[in-house]
Amino acid sequence: MKNTLFTALTCAILLSSCANEKAPNPFKITKNHIGLLTDSTQVKELDAIFVNDSVVRYIAGDEFIGSVNTIEIFEKSGKKLLDLSPREALDSTSVISSVNIIDSRYNTDKNISNLSTYKDISEAYKISKVDNLINVIVVSVNEINASFTIDKKELPASMRFDMGMTIDPIQIPGKAKIKYFMVHW
């Protein structure tokens, strides 16, 4: 009787512990993951990872050049989710080197998405670097291997036209909107 009760209790505990395991959030961004996509995911694995979505690969006409081709991920409804860039073009064993986050449902543990403002980012993460380019600035956050591109139109006029100017993170207006949210591996 005691063995039967012990066996039944053990089975109940095992079943309840298995039921508590959550499926991974397909829209969560961490340092090494974007949903089910990881920093070691190969191009050939994309169809299995995005089985409920559409994976669009553009193959350039001139394989001699071998430029890196962007792989687009769409929902079946047609909404664009991600742009993926493999480390090596035309190589199914290549890993993904960067991901452009298009869909706002993708967010970090600190709730940063492509709809966030610079203030949201700077309050949630330590800004590692700010690069001043021609029409944009690129704000890097090493904690999550991410970069956020902000259009210079979001900056004060005195900061828009001088590419040689060093931009300090505190000079960027808090209300500045993100143009691109990229994760690099």
Place of tokens 């590419």: 163
Over residues 96-115, mean pLDDT: 97
Average pLDDT, the chain: 89
- Looking at residue 134, what DSSP letter applies? S
Residue with more model confidence, 24 or 130: 130
pLDDT of residue 9: 54
pLDDT digits (tens, 9 = 90+) for 140-164: 999 999 999 999 999 999 999 888 9
pTM to 2 decimal places: 0.82
Is residue 12 predicted with pLDDT exceeding 80?
Answer: no
**Residue 69: what pLDDT?**
81
Instruction: Reply yes or no on whether the pLDDT at 121 is more than 60.
Output: yes
pLDDT, residue 3, reads 59
- Name the residue ranges covered by the structural domains of the chain: 28-107, 110-184
DSSP category for residue 42:
B
Mean pLDDT of 131-148: 97
pLDDT of residue 63: 55
State how far the Cα of 112 lies from the Cα of 48, in Å rounded to an integer.
27
| Neighbouring residues of 130: CB distance < 8 A, sequence distance ≥ 6 | 137, 138, 139, 140, 167, 168, 169, 172
Q: What is the predicted pLDDT for the residue at 61?
A: 59
Average pLDDT in the 160-173 region?
94
154-158 long-range contacts, CB within 8 A, separation 24+: 154/118
pLDDT digits (tens, 9 = 90+) for 45-76: 999 999 999 999 876 655 555 555 899 999 99
